[in-house]
Amino acid sequence: MSIAGGVAWVAGIFALIMSVMLIVNHIQLKRVDPLETPALRTLVDQLKSDPSNEALKEDIRALDLMIRKAFFTSQWQLRTGGLMLLFAVLVLVISLRYRSSLISDLEELESIEKSALLDKEKARKWVVYCGGGLFVLAIIAGLFSNSYLKDYGGEPLTAERGDAGGEVVTAQYADDVAEQAVLDHQQINVDATEELPSGEPTAVQPEQGGVVAITARESQQPRQTTSNIQPSATTSALPTTAQIRSNYPYFRGPDGNGVSYKNSAPTSFDVASGRNVLWKAPVPLHGYNSPVVWGDKVFLSGANDDERVVYCYNVADGKLLWQAKADNIQGSPTTKVNVTEDTGLAAPSLATNGNAVFAIFANGDVIGLDMVGNRIWGRNLGKPENYYGHSSSLILYKEFLIVQYDTNRGAKVMALSVNDGTTKWETTRDVRIAWSSPIIVNTGSRDELILVADPSVIGYDPANGEELWRVDCIGGEVGASAGYADGVVFAANEYVTFAAIKLGETPEIIWEQQELLPEASSPLAYNGLVLTMTSYGVGACYDILTGEKYWEAEFNDAIYGSPVLVGDNVYQMTNSGKLWVFKMAKSFQKVAESDLGEQSVCTPAIIEGKMFLRGYENLYCIGN
């Protein structure tokens, strides 16, 4: 009994100390606002008047780094202190319960007759009440302090209300102030695209003082680029609609809705014999993003805990032309990003406009590269709190790179300049975390950017981020992107619904059904029909306007990838690596089935006469 009492005393004193420390920490944070660091603000103001002052830029970077370290240290202290406090209270309660169990009923009765002991019992109760109150106060202080620190980690400083209820944010983030000031003025012109007289590819490597050295590589090796400088970008002519549609620049094609504007692609292949397999190339780092294609180049990315890389392959022969690391990006998290195995660190597909290619990774790093692998710009959007991992793919609208950034800490959609990565507009979203990707459609009267996340399907003006309309009809952990055809938007999620929304002056749901719902595969709509693919391998076809089900079919495998339409053929990859081809028709008509020979959860990328398939280990080019 004495040992139990001693343990209880030690645990109680330790809990008291931790409670006081958490309360004091909260008071200190309230007195000193980490969002308003006078020294950093002063240095940034000085830089605006003297943008060429390199010493001042280094001071800003050093101070910003120190603030970040203090921020992460405080977060660690709060988490650790809270856990230690809970553990101490748990030990205290267990010790007291054990001690009281050792006292016999007779001793309990005898103690009632002694008023002095009754007084002691009352005193113990008051100690318990006071200690409990202090404990609750410490927990509340810790929670409020943690929330306060999260505000420093990436919440917007100011915002203004858009016309349609969307909140268009124009302010910079506190942890991006120094970085953006430097990026706005740091215009270093680097010509890193020239080749040596021998014709060997070159690599760009920064040296001290920002001098760029051009070094020769082995002719058979891909060019590797990595840089901690930000070369200035020149504005190139925007691609025409015809150019976009003749390529495959985004996840699910030129509009992001699964429709390829080409009419021919091989329907079958055999990896073992090499039939219709033009080439196969290993991908050094794993990723679940699907290939994108422009001209003679195909792009994808891969990542692990140590590096994030963009790869460029030659369409003709599969040669790895270059690889570029997303490194030395200001604000990039120094801690490991926790993701699940089925999402990984490189799930979002890239986007390209023929002048540059853009990639985003699970740690919030976004990078823009020219077509030969030189970095144009890089920035970090803030480490996304995402328990599976960030997977929303990128899409382009004119001179804007559109990023859907729906996380646990808040949701937003933003447009970054393709030339320098600066934010052109940003709209906060009152939705929950999502893994879907944006699509851009033309309704006949205007362009619309359409996003899906619990609880809403929302249309935005891609030119300024203004909310145009919304329909609340979806829920859960949304992974499937929207589908669109014939003026109807489709949104679906497993265990929730499959809804058809007719656009117009007042968008409205024209039909819904709750069977055969997808988990990750996005709906494909075209020419009066819409398809869905469930995660357990059953597909179904419906009438766009009435919801009448025309057919359902078993694909005998799990399905995460999305269907793609080429001509009147639908291409659907299953998770085990089987590629099914069938007709987009009111009856199920199987055309062919081929086996990639390795697992794949990616969506095919298809241009005229060629198809690109990504497996877990390799990239394949299929063609006649």
Report phi then psi at 445, rounded to 5.
Answer: -115, -20
pLDDT-derived band of residue 173, with 50, 70 and 90 as boundaries? Answer: very low
Nearest to 408 by CA among 155, 174, 172: 155
Query: What's the CA gap between 254 and 443, in Å, rounded?
Result: 15
Residue scoring higher pLDDT (522 or 409) = 522
Task: Give the per-residue pLDDT at 14.
Answer: 78
Task: Give the per-residue pLDDT at 94.
Answer: 80
Geometric angle at alpha carbon 19, from 17 and 24, rounded to 5°: 95
* 121 plus 248 within the same structural domain: no
* Span 442-471, pLDDT tens digits: 999 999 999 999 999 999 999 999 999 999
385, pLDDT greater than 80: yes
* 135 plus 248 within the same structural domain: no
Query: What's the CA gap between 403 and 426, in Å, rounded?
Result: 9
Task: Give the per-residue pLDDT at 95.
Answer: 66
* Span 51-90, pLDDT tens digits: 667 667 566 656 655 665 565 556 556 667 677 767 767 7
* 137 plus 273 within the same structural domain: no
Instruction: Write the DSSP symbol of residue 279.
Output: E
SS (H, E, C) 383-444: CCCCCCCCCCCCEEECCEEEEEEEECCEEEEEEEECCCCCEEEEEEECCCCCCCCCEEEECC
Q: What are 238's two structure tokens?
A: 């925007």
* 144 plus 293 within the same structural domain: no
* 263 plus 123 within the same structural domain: no
* Domain presence at residue 348: yes
* 255 plus 141 within the same structural domain: no
* 378 plus 491 within the same structural domain: yes
pLDDT-derived band of residue 3, with 50, 70 and 90 as boundaries? Answer: confident
Judged by average pLDDT, the poorest of 167-176, 260-269, 567-576, 587-596 is: 167-176
Using DSSP, state whether 34 is helix, strand or coil: coil
Which residue, of 129, 152, 175, is where some domain finishes?
152
CATH of the domain at 508: 2.130.10.10
pLDDT-derived band of residue 128, with 50, 70 and 90 as boundaries? Answer: low
* Domain presence at residue 565: yes
Which residue, of 152, 169, 185, is where some domain finishes?
152
Task: Give the per-residue pLDDT at 64.
Answer: 56
* Domain presence at residue 383: yes
Q: What is the mean pLDDT of residues 162-181?
A: 40
Q: What is the mean pLDDT of residues 546-572?
A: 97
* Span 363-374, pLDDT tens digits: 999 999 999 999
Task: Give the per-residue pLDDT at 180.
Answer: 44
Domain interval for residue 304:
241-623
pLDDT-derived band of residue 264, with 50, 70 and 90 as boundaries? Answer: confident
* Span 318-346, pLDDT tens digits: 999 999 999 999 999 999 999 999 999 99
* 109 plus 252 within the same structural domain: no
Domains in the chain, number: 2
Task: Give the per-residue pLDDT at 165.
Answer: 40
Which residue, of 152, 167, 188, is where some domain finishes?
152
The answer to whether the bond into 455 is cis (omega within 30° of 0) is yes
* Domain presence at residue 326: yes
425, pLDDT greater than 60: yes
Q: Which helix (H) or strand (E) holds 11?
A: helix 2-31
* Span 269-320, pLDDT tens digits: 999 999 999 999 999 999 999 999 999 999 999 999 999 999 999 999 999 9
* Domain presence at residue 210: no
* Domain presence at residue 186: no
Task: Give the per-residue pLDDT at 20.
Answer: 75
Nearest to 238 by CA among 355, 81, 67: 355
* Span 146-163, pLDDT tens digits: 544 444 444 333 334 334
pLDDT-derived band of residue 10, with 50, 70 and 90 as boundaries? Answer: confident
Please provide the average confidence, as pLDDT, over all residues in the chain. 80
Kindly tell me the burial class for residue 383, based on how many C-beta atoms sit within 10 Å of its own C-beta (0-12, 13-18, 19 or more): buried
34, pLDDT greater than 60: no
Residue scoring higher pLDDT (12 or 230) = 12
* 147 plus 274 within the same structural domain: no
512, pLDDT greater than 50: yes
Using DSSP, state whether 36 is helix, strand or coil: coil
* Domain presence at residue 190: no
